[in-house]
Amino acid sequence: MLSYENSLKILKETNALIQGHFILSSGLHSPLYVQCAQLLSKPFEAEKFCSSLADKILEEFKEIDLILSPAMGGVVIGYEIGRLLKKETIFSERVNGKFKLRRGFEISKGSKVLIVEDVITTGNRA
């Protein structure tokens, strides 16, 4: 797994870690922002992050049936985590401001779903 220090090093080298004053969509303020698109544009470096994340997920969650990611930002990361964990991966899309399953995607009742997003601030936004 990537150490905190190695993670920061990669984020800085890929220009994904931006310093400044940011007001996040949650309303929180932060002196740092991770522009995931910069990291994801370097697949070899992004794979290191996703592989490390997959290892951490396996340590914490023993049973996962399905991976769900919100479009657009979470799709690439969700796909890679699904590939590494060998799990079906679907995504939701915003329709009239609300996330919906489309394209024939379904979640069976009782499924254990891992939601993979590209950004988390408070974890309470829909």
Indicate which CATH number applies to the domain containing 103: 3.40.50.2020
How many separate domains does the chain show? 1
User: Is the predicted pLDDT of residue 123 greater than 70, yes or no?
Assistant: no
pTM for the full predicted model: 0.82
pLDDT band of residue 126 (cuts 50, 70, 90) is very low
Q: Identify whether 56 is part of a domain.
A: yes
Contact 33, 20 (CB under 8 A): yes
Cα distance between residue 34 and residue 48, in whole Å: 16
Which pLDDT tens digit goes with each residue over 3-15?
999 999 999 999 9
Q: Which domain holds residue 48?
A: 4-115
Which pLDDT tens digit goes with each residue over 36-94?
889 999 999 999 989 999 999 999 998 999 999 998 878 999 999 999 999 999 999 99
Q: Identify whether 126 is part of a domain.
A: no
pLDDT at 117: 86
Q: Identify whether 125 is part of a domain.
A: no
Q: Identify whether 121 is part of a domain.
A: no
Q: For residue 92, with 0-12 CB atoms within 10 Å meaning exposed, 13-18 middle and 19 or more buried, which class applies?
A: buried
Contact 31, 18 (CB under 8 A): no
